[in-house]
Amino acid sequence: MNSNFTINLFLLAAIACLSQGCCPDRFMKVGNRCYYYNSDKVDWHDARHACERLGAHLVSIHNAEDSREVYDLWKSLIDESFLVGGQRTYWIGLHDVQNENFFEWSDGTPMDYSMWCSGEPNNSGGEDCVSPLSRGSNDFDRQKWNDFDCGTRKPYFCRRSATS
Ligand SMILES: [Ca+2]
Ligand SMILES: [Ca+2]
């Protein structure tokens, strides 16, 4: 490739980064936030720590738009056949590991919104970690949450803010 062209591309990227904020390698930029999706299935605690090692946290959801943003990103990354089957959705940062039935976000943000599936959270057999269940006939219902066994292995979403 022509080296002037390469340098110009680099400058353009740097200018865009300075004006709108930057995301680290392997993160996807959505608005002023950076997302990292890993399709490797790990338990919730490993997912949490993997995000922290990247300077991020498991995603937290504070309104319907947050939820839709994460879900749409997930749908864009996966095979549509994965839409069936709760085991294939992703860990989010919500948990009641510390105090049963007291749910909190791993990034320390307040629990100010919820979208539980009907009958959930049910702590069935001791479930403390949350993921969309991906059950239902439409995209909104498929975003609704279930508490799972934290040892269940799932892909996960990390998020951090873009840096300026
Ligand atoms: Ca629980
Ligand atoms: Ca449950």
> How far is ligand 1, taken at its centre, from the CA of residue 160, in Å?
26
CA 42 – CA 71 distance, rounded (Å): 19
Chain-centroid distance of CA 121 in Å reads 19
State the Cα angle at 110 between 57 and 116, rounded to 5°.
Answer: 85
CA–centroid distance, 132 to ligand 1, in Å, is 15
Q: Quick one: average pLDDT of 22-38?
A: 94
| 153: its two tokens | 């292995």
Question: Which range has the worst mean pLDDT, 17-26, 32-41, 43-52?
Answer: 17-26
Closest ligand (CA of 129): 1
Ligand 1 geometric centre to CA of 88 (Å) = 20
Q: Which option is the CATH number for 23-161: 3.10.105.10, 3.40.50.1820, 3.10.100.10, 3.20.20.140?
A: 3.10.100.10
Give the global pTM.
0.87
Is residue 86's pLDDT more than 50?
no
* Nearest ligand by distance to the CA of 119: 2
Ion ligand 1: protein residues whose beta carbon lies under 5 Å = 96, 123, 128
Q: Can you state the percent helix, strand and coil of the chain, rounding each to 5? A: 30, 25, 45
Across 18-43, b (16+ Cβ under 10 Å) vs e yields eeebebeeebeeeeebbbbbbeebbb
Distance 123 CA to ligand 2 centre (A): 5
Do residues 61 and 67 make contact, with C-beta atoms less than 8 angstroms apart? yes
